[in-house]
């Protein structure tokens, strides 16, 4: 059946949108290769490079409208932006993100035109998958980066053994390569997919890291304070009481509060409150990590931070990867006027250093990260290599009612795998969870439910290949493939 151009655009958009079902909470991993297959067919069957780009853009619009729809909730419901402006901003964000698959589709056809039938076939089997993941990688760092929804993150069930070696982008590349090979030759593509899954299963038997010491009991606090009232001064005392009660109930040797659990600057927290928390620590012989905003010594810079309650001023973790438009203003001369429509509690924050010393507590070294920092695998590994445990403090109340919290927890599982470390997550409204070094979800609290998640972790030492090399080897491979295609394109076919 030959599709008309409008039908092709609709088909690509639907395929892109369906990809969201490959991620948590639905986790139908098999849908991702199907959706990528549609994407590659759209490039192959397009009449021109421009039409291939349009197909790629349509696929990208479906992909990101579905995968990042929760942006609307944060802007309108909690940011105070008018509905029409929030919808337009969310759509504009999807348009920007859709440019990346569009460019991958365009450059597959031009300038990488083929001059032999074999090279033409390899263009869709190898070149298109390579360009797709290159532009996905670029999306992860350009303009501070947005790696959310990277295709490799959908394959935790099938290729978990490969994450500690090549990371999420490497897994995404192999997935795309298998799909591209299927477009070229179905049996070969299926054989490659089987080989990847089998190899991953064997590699998953390897423990790249080793346990250190006895298991440690942890308590992760989930206050479940709605974002709509979290920063209301009228409930400040109630918020203090909420978390004090949860801390008293905690049974762990390590007690972790979520991001900005106390809606205040650290200097503005009543001294008696911190004293009471320290008294709980002494009674339970426990350590505590508290999410709270802090200031520099001169008071000129402010940070979204995690602090050791025993000594909050000593070496707090200051969030490195800030959220644009949420925690700082990019190009204020351009975007400044937008902020008259937003009601964001923490504006104009400064960022911490890329590599920060871990907390020494609870029998190990704990590397903290805040909010969506655990979406950035190459950044997390820099601090994880010096730590025995990873802890994420986050507040997903900005996106209540969406799948964002489940998607975020899924990315955390990938970070645990890449680094061979347990990763524990304390969140305000969900998903508070304990993830082991194999990326398995050990325990979790239901979303939008107040409580304390009790469990055990084991500190781990050692390094994974991904911790050592990061994304560098796979990126070098991608550009080697591009260079090879450029050189082959320049060769004229021999006469018959």
Residue 176 among the catalytic residues: no
Residue 317's closest CA among 299, 291, 297? 291
Residue 319 among the catalytic residues: yes
337 vs 340: CA distance, rounded Å = 6
Render 212-273 in DSSP notation, one character per residue.
EEEEEEEEEEE----HHHHT-GGGHHHHHHHHHHHHHH---SEEE--TTSSSSBGGGS-HHH
218 vs 454: CA distance, rounded Å = 6
- Quote the distance between the C-alpha of residue 46 and its chain's center: 32
Catalytic residue among 35, 136, 284, 319: 319
Strands (E), 238-385: 254-256, 287-295, 302-308, 317-318, 359-361, 364-370
Catalytic residue among 327, 371, 406, 431: 371
Residue 371 among the catalytic residues: yes
Whether omega for the bond prior to residue 92 falls within 30 degrees of 0, making it cis, is no
447 vs 459: CA distance, rounded Å = 27
254 vs 471: CA distance, rounded Å = 32
Residue 276's closest CA among 244, 306, 252? 244
Catalytic residue among 35, 65, 259, 406: 259
CB-count exposure of residue 143 (10 Å: 0-12, 13-18, 19+) = exposed
Catalytically annotated residues: 259, 319, 371
């Amino acid at each position: 059946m030959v599709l008309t151009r409008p039908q092709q655009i609709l088909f690509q958009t639907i395929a892109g949108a369906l990809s969201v079902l490959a991620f948590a909470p639905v986790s139908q991993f098999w849908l991702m290769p199907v959706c990528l297959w549609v994407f590659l067919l759209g490039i192959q069957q397009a009449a021109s490079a421009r039409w291939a780009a349009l197909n790629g853009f349509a696929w990208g619009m479906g992909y990101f409208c579905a995968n990042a729809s929760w942006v609307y909730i944060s802007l309108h419901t909690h940011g105070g932006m008018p509905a029409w402006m929030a919808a337009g901003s969310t759509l504009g964000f999807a348009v920007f993100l859709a440019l990346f698959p569009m460019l991958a589709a365009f450059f597959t056809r031009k300038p990488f035109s083929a001059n032999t039938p074999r090279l033409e076939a390899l263009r869709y089997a190898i070149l298109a998958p390579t360009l797709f993941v290159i532009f996905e990688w670029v999306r992860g760092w350009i303009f501070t980066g947005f790696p959310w929804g990277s295709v490799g993150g959908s394959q935790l069930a099938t290729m978990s053994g490969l994450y500690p070696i090549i990371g999420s982008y490497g897994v995404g590349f192999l997935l795309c390569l298998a799909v591209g090979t299927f477009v070229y030759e179905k049996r070969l593509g299926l054989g490659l997919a089987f080989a990847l899954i089998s190899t991953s299963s064997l590699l998953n038997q390897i423990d790249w890291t080793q346990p250190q010491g006895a298991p440690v009991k942890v308590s992760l606090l989930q206050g479940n304070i709605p974002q709509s009232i979290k920063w209301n001064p009228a409930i400040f005392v109630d918020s203090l009481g909420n978390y004090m009660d949860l801390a008293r109930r905690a049974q762990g040797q390590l007690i972790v509060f979520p991001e900005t659990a106390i809606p205040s600057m650290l200097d503005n927290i009543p001294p008696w409150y911190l004293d009471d928390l320290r008294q709980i620590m002494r009674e339970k012989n426990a350590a505590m990590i508290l999410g709270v905003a802090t200031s520099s010594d001169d008071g000129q810079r402010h940070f979204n931070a995690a602090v050791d309650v025993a000594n909050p001023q000593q070496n707090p973790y200051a969030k490195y990867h800030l959220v644009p438009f949420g925690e700082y203003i990019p190009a204020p001369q351009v975007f400044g006027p937008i902020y008259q429509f937003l009601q964001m509690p923490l504006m104009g924050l400064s960022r911490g250093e890329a590599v920060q010393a871990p907390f020494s507590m609870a029998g190990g070294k704990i590397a903290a990260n805040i909010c969506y920092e655990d979406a950035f695998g190459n950044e997390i590994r820099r601090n994880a290599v010096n730590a025995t445990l990873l802890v994420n403090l986050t507040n997903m109340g900005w996106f209540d009612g969406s799948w964002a919290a489940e998607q975020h927890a899924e990315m955390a599982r990938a970070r645990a795998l890449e680094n061979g470390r347990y990763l524990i997550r304390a969140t305000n409204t969900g998903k508070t969870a304990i993830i082991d070094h194999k990326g398995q979800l050990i325990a979790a609290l239901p979303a939008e439910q107040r409580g304390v998640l009790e469990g055990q972790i084991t500190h781990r030492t050692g390094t994974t290949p991904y911790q050592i090399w990061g994304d560098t080897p796979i990126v070098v491979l991608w550009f080697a493939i591009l260079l090879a295609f450029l050189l082959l394109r320049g060769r004229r076919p021999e006469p018959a």
